Amino acid sequence: MKNENKIDELTQKILRGLEESYEKLVAFKKYKNSPLIVEKNGAIVEIKPDEIQPKTRYSTSHES
């Protein structure tokens, strides 16, 4: 049980790091007025800086 708690704690820290990285990326893209290029359903998509969501939430498949 103790290992599971450590893994869950580590997972939460990793997810928070991803969220913070995303927020910094969005701020940078808006500052530079540069589009965000992503893959969506197998296609390359360009998102204008003013249309990028300012935050995102990552989760694991076992969260409810």
Model confidence pLDDT, tens digit, residues 15-48: 999 999 999 999 999 999 999 999 999 999 999 9
Environment class of 41 (CB within 10 Å of its CB; exposed 0-12, middle 13-18, buried 19+): exposed
What is the pTM for the complete model shown?
A: 0.74
Query: In this predicted structure, what is the pLDDT of residue 57?
Result: 82
Tokens of 26: 């969005």
Tokens of 19: 């969220």
| Confidence grade of residue 2 (pLDDT, cut at 50, 70, 90) | confident
Tell me the three state secondary structure of residue 6.
Answer: helix
| Confidence grade of residue 64 (pLDDT, cut at 50, 70, 90) | very low
Amino acid identity for residue 35 in this structure: P
Beta-carbon contacts of 11 under 8 Å, excluding residues fewer than 6 positions away, are 60
